[in-house]
Amino acid sequence: MAGLTATGRLSGAERGTLHIILWGAVAGAVIAWCLAGVQIYGIWVGDPVLSVSLLNSFFPEVGEDSPGVLAGEYETASLTVSYIPLPARLILTCAALLRHLPTVAVCLVMALLCRQMLRYRPIAKSGMRAMAGAGVAVFLAGLLPGILESVATVTTAQELGLPGPVQSDVRETLTIPLFPVDWTVLVMGIFIIVVAGAFQMGAIQLGALSAGRAGAHQPAPEHGF
């Protein structure tokens, strides 16, 4: 923003750009919630797809006729199921909300920051708190959804009577999934929280500096006798 750097005020083009970003961010948040609603609708009404890991899986047929393929195995399978127990549906609903929550949170914070910039208050406390809240949402989205989906998968597999690891010696079976964590999203959430704290600290120091300068320019009190 060259105009802002040179004059301290936003030019017309810069204000227009901020308005476009603001309303685009609001639209992004609405779209993310709609996608979450579609996914949740599929969990409760449609035919959910259950992705499971396999143990002692058969040799992939695609490589059987190639002499260069010496070994292989299937790692995952997707099963379309018509019944998911209520606890698993609730867990999957929470996971779906958490997966879409970061997009909603980041878009809303972006809109708030654009609004504050249009008001020439880019480091207001409300914006920094909202940014920290978005960081927490992103952190939880990296930590919890995979765990919740794994628990729901195990619960559903047990309810459907699908073969478990104890039968792996005689047939292809399901494995108990590890609790996956999305480390990239997790670290991004921590980064956003740190950035929010850094901006908040900068705002406090700037306020203290401004107050000190204002005090230095005040005339000294006169002492009369």
Q: What is the pLDDT of residue 90?
A: 94
- Residue type (1 letter), 147: I
- Our separate counts of H helices and E strands in the chain read 6, 3
pTM, two decimal places: 0.75
Residues 123-163 pLDDT 10s:
778 888 899 999 999 999 999 998 898 888 888 888 888 88
Place 70 in a pLDDT band, splitting at 50, 70 and 90.
Answer: confident
* Whole-Å CA distances, 53 to 4, 70, 76, 136, 215: 54, 22, 4, 30, 67
What are the sequence ranges of the domains in the chain? 2-47+84-210
Q: What is the pLDDT of residue 52?
A: 78
